[in-house]
Structure 1
Amino acid sequence: MTVPSPSSSSKGEEVQRLFDTVPGYYDRMNRLMTLGRHQAWCRDVARRAQVPAGGALLDIATGTGVIALEAARRYPDAAVHGVDFSEGMLAGARTKPGADAVTWQFADANALPFDDGTFDAVTHGYLLRNVEDAERVLAEQLRVLRPGGRLVILETCPPRGLLRRPVTLGVKVVVPLLGQLVARDRTSYTYLEESTLGFMSPEQVGEILRRLGFVSVAWDRRFLGTHMIVTAQKP
């Protein structure tokens, strides 16, 4: 999700308030910033979740519900839950075609309102860069997963290698400019540029996952190294 940078003293409350302002242009901006690849990545996240017949999937920070809706289409006999702590984003998700197949719910990623071992898969897109304590949030996801359950993460990450400098320059210029032209919200998309370039690498996310007890940790980089899909499993 893409919001203006909040103050460190009240990050959760500020992020929540700011998310409520973006649903109207959120999907369009994601399409533009990824040159139309965002939907395909969300389909890939749903595919990698590998929900068994009659199973259950939790999509955290569901936003406008792109991943949750893809999961509901792929696993029509599964129970799909989409949770977010922005009522504005949830309201947008509930209006989309197929929304009746998903259970939408207000929830905080730091303290999920579900019992231990409830879900066969947990997914999320662009969650970790917007929380204060990524390790705590990932530990909650481990808790609600069943043994053998899968975690699939879509996130931004800083580019590397020979393309690092030109891609970094492009992100710094293009993302805030698109925010100004399309959303009339340069501040929010300046924050996206900063969080994309300043977030953890796949290796760092993988280290946290292994430390928490996840196994089979793997990742792919996408879009000139600025995005990653990370998978892991609960033993």
Structure 2
Amino acid sequence: MSQIKPYNTQAGKKQEVEDMFDNIAPKYDLLNHVLSMKIDVLWRNTLVKWMNKDAPKEVLDVATGTGDLAIAVQKGTGAHVTGLDLSQQMLNVGLDKIKKLNMQDKITMQKGDAENLPYESNKFDAVSVAFGVRNFENLEKGLSELSRVVKENSSVYILEFSKVEGLLGPLYMFYFKNILPMIGRLVSKDNRAYTYLPDSVNAFPFGEKMKNILLNNGFRKVEYKKLSLGIATIYKATK
């Protein structure tokens, strides 16, 4: 899986992903909402409602990007949220957002690596990742780290793209592989970032396959919900 990289240079996937998000950070939120027709907001809210049943007090949001999920989690659960991301430029956009919302005391942003989390074991009541695990250089190592930092009997919530199956599958794939990268290129001026998106989704495990990977990497129970005909899936992995 690690061979799917944004720019296909000699650099490792982690470095390329950091560079890519640094490049597209100023336009990332706009593109996200345009390309998903704001359905991504509903997906995040679904994750937050599921997480809220755990009544978490301390939440880690990995691959937080510009902080959309961190903000949604904080508003929906009242927890203190730590947002961690590889890309400083994405974090900068997120920090501006948090300042405007006056949430600096409720959300902490930190630069860091999902595969080497700078936290002690069993620290968080819940962990979330939206559209981030697909970008891990080493998926198993990243998932094991998520499992390590969440408390016993607590859960990691992963929102990730999956694949639309059935009649709408080919139509969606056409949009995903042709229209979406074209819009992404025009707005972000990054030729590869939005070609990488469908490529990385195509190569990424979903559904039962992803469930089994989670069960093999520190979790004892995994449930998942398909969203919007399978465009995305939320996995709840309990330690």
Same fold by TM-score greater than 0.5: yes
Query: Which residue in 2 is equivalent to 1:223?
Result: 228
Q: 1:99 to 1:89 in 2, by over 3 A?
A: farther
RMSD: 1.9
Tell me the SS of whatever aligns to 2:226. strand
- In the alignment, the residues of structure 2 paired with residue 136 and residue 8 of structure 1 have an alpha-carbon distance, to the nearest angstrom, of 22
Q: 1:54 to 1:226 in 2, by over 3 A?
A: closer
- In the alignment, the residues of structure 1 paired with residue 171 and residue 54 of structure 2 have an alpha-carbon distance, to the nearest angstrom, of 42
Check whether the contact 1:69–1:98 (CA below 8 A) recurs between aligned residues. no
Instruction: Tell which deviates more after alignment, 223-232 or 49-58.
Output: 49-58
- In the alignment, the residues of structure 1 paired with residue 135 and residue 47 of structure 2 have an alpha-carbon distance, to the nearest angstrom, of 19
Tell me the SS of whatever aligns to 1:23. helix
Check whether the contact 1:61–1:84 (CA below 8 A) recurs between aligned residues. yes
1:65-104 mapped onto 2 (5 Å cutoff): 65-76=67-78, 78-96=79-97, 97-100=101-104, 101-104=106-109
**% identical aligned pairs:** 32
Tell me the SS of whatever aligns to 2:237. strand
- In the alignment, the residues of structure 2 paired with residue 37 and residue 157 of structure 1 have an alpha-carbon distance, to the nearest angstrom, of 15
Question: Could you tell me how far 1:20 is from its partner in structure 2?
Answer: 1.0
The Cα offsets for residues 103-160 of structure 1, whole Å up to 9 and x where unpaired, read as 1111100110000100010001111111121111010011101111111111112332
Question: Could you tell me how far 1:52 is from its partner in structure 2?
Answer: 5.3
Tell me the SS of whatever aligns to 1:22. helix
The amino acid that maps onto 1:55 is: K
Query: Which residue in 2 is equivalent to 1:136?
Result: 141
- In the alignment, the residues of structure 2 paired with residue 223 and residue 201 of structure 1 have an alpha-carbon distance, to the nearest angstrom, of 15
Tell me the SS of whatever aligns to 2:168. helix
1:186-225 mapped onto 2 (5 Å cutoff): 186-225=191-230
Query: Which residue in 2 is equivalent to 1:24?
Result: 26
Check whether the contact 1:159–1:225 (CA below 8 A) recurs between aligned residues. yes
Q: 2:109 aligned with 1:107, yes or no?
A: no
Check whether the contact 2:127–2:156 (CA below 8 A) recurs between aligned residues. yes
Check whether the contact 2:160–2:232 (CA below 8 A) recurs between aligned residues. yes
- In the alignment, the residues of structure 1 paired with residue 95 and residue 202 of structure 2 have an alpha-carbon distance, to the nearest angstrom, of 32
Question: Could you tell me how far 1:6 is from its partner in structure 2?
Answer: 4.1
Check whether the contact 1:157–1:198 (CA below 8 A) recurs between aligned residues. no
Q: 2:185 aligned with 1:185, yes or no?
A: no
Q: 2:171 aligned with 1:166, yes or no?
A: yes
- In the alignment, the residues of structure 1 paired with residue 55 and residue 215 of structure 2 have an alpha-carbon distance, to the nearest angstrom, of 28
Q: Which runs of 5+ in 1 are unaligned?
A: none
Question: Could you tell me how far 1:47 is from its partner in structure 2?
Answer: 2.2
